Structure 1
């Protein structure tokens, strides 16, 4: 499955109404740690059908970043049944991200 670009316009349908768990990656193009995490997030999206993976560019979607109190990036948030259930700040290895999704 490919990564979905999440905006305030599609957030409700892609995240809140998703029947599958959703991993959101809050990032920015100028962020070094974000560039380290991005290929890992892309790889997870390509390998797993059980959940959806989305990316939120905090420069373009400031409203969503504020709504979820994203103060540092990268921030990863897992949503289940329309609710944020776990989050993590900073670059994480693939195994740690997959563990977030298991929970």
Structure 2
């Protein structure tokens, strides 16, 4: 599955995220956040080698429960899940290599 470029219109419920069986990257951020925007090219590059990983782009902010349930404090935060369980996370990643390593952990 290619990288998603648009934020979801509705954030999924935590129980739905926990029920996902495939490898997933949750990207918490905001469409106006400079850090979120600058991460897009390196995330896209890393995701190219992992077509089986699902990517969900979640708009985060005040009143957003999903981000709070994952204790997101800075954007972007990438949460790497396998079988609904967090394996690792990256906060404000700055290089393709770190993202690729995290993807390898869920899509080995």
Tell me which of 53, 56, 61 is aligned to 2:55. 53
> 2 CA distance for matches of 1:83 and 1:11?
11
Gapped runs of 5+ residues in structure 2?
A: none
Q: TM-score, normalization: structure 2? A: 0.76
Q: TM-score, normalization: structure 1? A: 0.79
User: What stretches of structure 1 move > 3 A for 4+ residues in a row?
Assistant: 42-47
> How many residue pairs get matched?
101
> 2 CA distance for matches of 1:101 and 1:26?
16
Tell me which of 77, 80, 97 is aligned to 2:79. 77
> Deviations for 1:76-100, whole angstroms, at most 9, x for unmatched residues?
1100111111111113312210100
Cα–Cα, structure 1 residues 38 and 79, in superposed 2: closer, same or farther, change >3 Å?
same
Q: What is the CA RMSD across the aligned residues, in angstroms?
A: 2.5
> 2 CA distance for matches of 1:21 and 1:87?
13
Cα–Cα, structure 1 residues 61 and 35, in superposed 2: closer, same or farther, change >3 Å?
farther
